[in-house]
Chains A and B, each alone.
Chain A
């Protein structure tokens, strides 16, 4: 059954990918990209990776489309025709594709228990998560405790990416006259989206909090929750306009969220060292190591959620401020 679904979904995925490349209208590409994301998420779900599927859903369904559209508002909608160097590109792509296809011949069968990936550290995680952490979701345990260093790195990558985007878009904090003269009023005169959206915003935040704090037991965790909560604020800003959204969560608060989130994660690690353990070894935080690990995981997941939410919001607002500035100049 899984195989049937996977083949079906992957075929659609390939068709969509070809269509994305073929289309010269960038708006069409953005739309097809969102179909790509939906297919990808369903595929992850069919392959039993509910946490990854939820991440793809949280990021792909709302935020990617919104940010792509904001970027599109700053550029032209048509792709520039580029005919030079196509032969070389074709050769490179053809070679790489044939290499990858050749490499798949050595790949173990899907779900093969003897595959190398299932022999290395995975059995240890599967056997010990319940005993050492006290909760059933192995993905959360691996992400936030066993491989805590990797996740710390990821959070700082998010932090660096956010700062990079802000620098490129030249978005400064503060309330200079530039950023107040935004004319956009959002969808205030569209009554139906307004009413439905207002109903939805609190539920999206609630669902985000559920994903954040239920991550130990079901699919979810800080990354997904941060993206979902950021989506709620983006929805609010689409409905009420940029200024209302900035009044609710000002720029400084967004950046504060990113910094506090990343710092919180790091500080938990330092605290572990002060208490006499190793960096990010939560078991020393309290007398009972299982409770200590759970508390450590909850705190760092909260840090991850804050960092992701803040980063996404500040990128979104940086794009929005930039497009407002450009229209002002044009007028």
Chain B
């Protein structure tokens, strides 16, 4: 029974880790390939939230009930708190200093 449970936990954590890695990769490619700054932010924030959540959940499952799991949970919590805040700060400082999204520039040209 216990062995069976361990295998299930292992499989779930592997799936989470793979999802996390894929999200990290998608985010990285998106940051390089997206057309302008505001769309790149979306790609970057994917790695801040989804990838962090999946990777750390996977690692916590691997760590089991230990001090390492508690530390991983704390790291995940703080990364999930600070990541979106940093994204907000970035977008805000870009907008404040007059950096317009590409779509807005296009609309102005049409007008």
Interface residues of A (CB under 8 A from B): 190, 192-193, 196-197, 199-200, 203
Contact = CB atoms under 8 A, between A and B. Distances in A.
B78 A193 contact: no
A200 B81 contact: yes
Contacts, number: 19
Interface string B62-98: 0000000000000000100110110011001000000
7 contacts: A192-B88, A192-B89, A193-B85, A193-B88, A193-B89, A196-B85, A199-B81
Contact of B78 (A190, A192, A197, A203): A203
B92 A196 contact: no
A199 B78 CA distance: 10
Given A192-B85, A193-B85, A200 B78 contact: yes
A200 B88 CA distance: 16
A53 B63 CA distance: 23
Interface residues of B, number: 8
Interface of B: 78, 81-82, 84-85, 88-89, 92
Contacts of B85: 192-193, 196-197
A197 B85 CA distance: 9
Contact of A190 (B81, B82, B84, B89): B89
Contacts of B89: 190, 192-193
A193 B91 CA distance: 12
B92 A200 contact: no
A124 B81 CA distance: 45
A291 B85 CA distance: 45
A196 B88 CA distance: 11
Contacts of B78: 200, 203
A13 B61 CA distance: 33
Contacts of A193: 85, 88-89
A189 to B, nearest CB: 11
A196 B84 CA distance: 10
Nearest to A195: B85
A209 to B, nearest CB: 15
Contacts of B88: 190, 192-193
Contacts of A196: 81-82, 85
A240 to B, nearest CB: 16
A152 to B, nearest CB: 33
A196 B89 CA distance: 12
A190 B85 CA distance: 10
A33 B89 CA distance: 20
Nearest to A197: B85
Q: Which of B85, B89, B92 has most A Cβ within 10 Å?
A: B85
Nearest to A196: B85
Nearest to A204: B78
A200 B78 CA distance: 8
* A-B residue pairs, 9 tightest by C-beta: A196-B85, A192-B88, A196-B81, A193-B89, A193-B85, A192-B85, A196-B82, A190-B92, A199-B81
Contacts of A192: 84-85, 88-89
Given A192-B89, A197-B85, A200-B78, 16 more contacts: A190-B88, A190-B89, A190-B92, A192-B84, A192-B85, A192-B88, A193-B85, A193-B88, A193-B89, A196-B81, A196-B82, A196-B85, A199-B81, A200-B81, A200-B82, A203-B78
Nearest to B89: A193
Contacts of B81: 196, 199-200
